[in-house]
Structure 1
Amino acid sequence: MDELDRAMINHLQGGFPLCERPFQEVAAQLGIGEDELIVRLGKLLDEKVLTRFGPMYQIERMGGAFSLAAMRVPEEDFERAAAIVNALPAVAHNYRREHAFNMWFVLATETPQGIHETIASIEAETGYPVCNMPKEREYFVGLRFAA
C-alpha cells in the first residue's frame, strides 16, 4: 500500500456518498480521478488488503436475521466441518478460536426462520451441535481502523 491507498481506506471508513456518481465524488475529495479510485479499490480487494467493500445493512428491518453461532469441533475434523460451514451462502464470517467452542461464525439470512434452517443443515451435515446466539440488542460502536 502507498500513501494514497491509506488515504482512501481512511476516508472511506467515514462513509460513502449516496448519489448518482459516488466514486466520482469520493475521488474528487481525494484529489484523484474516478477510474483511479475504482482500479485501486479493486486491487486492494484482489490482493486481500481489504476483505470487502460495501454497505452494512440492518437486515432485520428488511425481514432478515443475523445470529452468532459457535461449535465444538474436534481438531482432526476441523477442516472438513469448516468447509461445510463456509460453503453455505448464509455464513458471513467463520473464525477459528482457541476455546472449547473453537469455530465461531455469523449467519445472515433473508428470514428469521432461515437461521434455524441453516443451523439444522449445519448440524446434519457436520454431525456437531450448533450453539445459536441471536442478537438481542444492537449497539453502534463506530469502529475505524487507521491505515
Structure 2
Amino acid sequence: MSAAPREGTRPEKAAPLDTLDRRIINALQGGFPLTETPYRDVAEGLGIGEAELLARLQRLLDTGVLTRFGPMFQIERLGGRFVLAALAVPEDRFDEVTALVNAFPEVAHNYRRTHRLNMWFVLATETPEGIDDVIRRIESATGLPVFAFPKRREFFVDMRLQA
C-alpha cells in the first residue's frame, strides 16, 4: 500500500468521461442540496435515478477522476484545527509507515512526494490542542519526527472547472 488519497486512487491515465459524467461533475461543483434526499434531488435535476448517480460518483472516485467528494468545513469555526504535516520516511519502511499513519482517524489525506519529506498528510482535530496529541501519537507509532506546518493565512478560491 502506498500513500494516496483515501477516497480514490490516482489513475495511470485519464479515464474517459461521457456526457453524463461531465454533467454530474459540473452540477456538483456549485453546491449540494441541504435536503432529506440530496442525492435524489440532484439525480432528478439531471434526469437520472438516484442509484445511477451514486454508482457514477463511486466509479469517478474509484478511477481517480475525483479524489474526494464531500463537504469542505472551516474547522476553526467549529472549534477544531487543521495542520499540514510531513515525515521523512526511509524508503524500506514507506508501506509500513503509510499503514501506521493512515490508521489514525485524524489523518484526512496522505500523499507520497519525491522530496526528503516524502510523506505529506493533513491532520484534523476537534480541538486546537488535539493536534499536538495526535502528532505525539504518530511519532510514537512510527519512531519518526512529524514536521507540522500550521496555516498562517487562509485563502478562498471559488474555482469551478467545466468537465
Q: Which residue number in structure 1 is paired with residue 52 of structure 2?
A: 36
1:103 aligned partner: 119
Which structure carries more relative contact order (alpha carbon 8 Å, separation 6+)?
Answer: 2
TM-score, scaled to structure 1: 0.87
Q: Distance in 1 between matches of 2:160 and 2:22?
A: 13
1:7 corresponds to which letter in structure 2? R
Sequence identity, in percent?
63
| More helix as a share of residues | 1
Structure 1: gaps spanning 5 or more residues: none
Equivalent in 121, 124, 139 of residue 123 of structure 1: 139
Matches within 5 A, 1:44-123: 44-123=60-139
Q: Please give the TM-score of this superposition, normalised by the length of structure 2.
A: 0.79
SS in 1 for 2:154: coil
The size of the alignment, in residue pairs, is 147
Taking a change above 3 Å as real, the CA distance of residues 100 and 110 of structure 1, as seen in their structure-2 partners, is same
Alpha-carbon RMSD? 1.9
Cα shift at 1:36: 3.0
5+ long unaligned stretches in structure 2: 1-16
Work out the CA distance in 2 between the residues paired with 1:35 and 1:75: 42
Over 4 Å off, 4+ runs: none
Deviation at 1:110, TM superposition (A): 1.2
